[in-house]
Amino acid sequence: MKIKIEENVKDYIRSLPDKDRHVIGEYINRLTDHPQATGDIKKLKTRFPQWRMHISSKFTLFYHVDGDTVCVDQIMTIERAHKKYGKI
């Protein structure tokens, strides 16, 4: 699968330290194997099909699939995600 990353996600990742950027990049690359991607991935019960991926107990990434493209919509700290969405 191809990967499309929203600009706000790219900006957020660029603002992080090198180590975090590297780890996030590795996790995002795993999404090319969706739906067989490995990691802490959960399909959310939302109106439109969406998934979340926990990254190194530090970040939560939200994405959806459009045809043969994985679209990365949002990334935030796990703490912020839990405040915003509850424990998902």
pTM of the model: 0.91
Q: Give me the pLDDT at residue 88, please.
A: 56
Task: Judge contact between 59 and 78, C-beta under 8 A.
Answer: yes
Q: Which of 1-10, 18-27, 30-39, 50-59 has the lowest mean pLDDT?
A: 30-39
pLDDT tens profile 34-88 = 888 888 999 998 888 999 999 999 999 999 999 999 999 999 999 999 888 876 5
Domains in the chain: boundaries: 2-85
Contacts of 53 (CB under 8 A, 6+ apart): 27, 31, 37, 39, 40, 41, 60, 61, 62, 63
Rounded CA gap, 44 and 29, in Å?
Answer: 20
CATH number of 2-85: 3.30.2310.20
> Taking the CB of residue 66, how many other CB atoms lie within 10 A of it?
12
Copy the structure tokens of residue 4.
């499309």
Please provide the size of the chain in residues.
Answer: 88
